[in-house]
Amino acid sequence: MPITDEEFEKISEELVSHDIKAAIDMLDEVRDIMTENSIQADIRDKLLHLQLLASELLNHGQRNRAEKFFALNKEISEELLYAMKTLRELSSVIEKISSHCPADIEFPDDPDEELKREIKNFFNEP
C-alpha cells in the first residue's frame, strides 16, 4: 500500500536522500578499517599480530616486545573507536528513516529478492 499524501509530505520535509549516500560513505570507511587493503593490514591481521606479541611478551618473557605490543594495541583501539563512531553515525541515519515508517506499511515477503530485482531493473533501464 502506498503512503498517504500527508505521510509523503512529512517524509519529504524531514528526510534527505543524500543522508543515505553519506551512510554508504561511512560504511565504506568502516570497511576500509576492517578489511585488508594495499596500504594497511586489516583488524584481524593486527589482532593476530597482537596475539603473537602477547605470547612473546607474556609467555616467553620477551620484555623488549612490550613497546611494540602496547603501540599496536593503541593503534587497534583507535581504529575500532573510529569505526564505532562511524557506525553510530550510520545507524542514526537508518534510525531517522525508520522513525518515519508508517505503521500500516506492508513489507515485501522477501526484501532481499525484491532489492535484487529493483537493482537489476535500475541498471537495465535506458
Full pLDDT tens readout for the chain, 126 residues: 578 888 888 888 888 888 888 888 888 888 887 776 655 668 888 999 999 999 999 999 999 999 999 999 999 999 899 989 999 999 999 999 888 888 888 777 776 777 777 877 877 765
pLDDT for 45-70, tens place per residue? 899 999 999 999 999 999 999 999 99
Predicted confidence at residue 69, as pLDDT, reads 96
Ramachandran region, residue 61 (left: φ > 0; alpha: ψ -120 to 50; beta: rest): left
Predicted confidence at residue 125, as pLDDT, reads 61
Predicted confidence at residue 64, as pLDDT, reads 96
Any idea of the CA torsion for 113, 116, 117, 121, to the nearest 10 degrees? 170
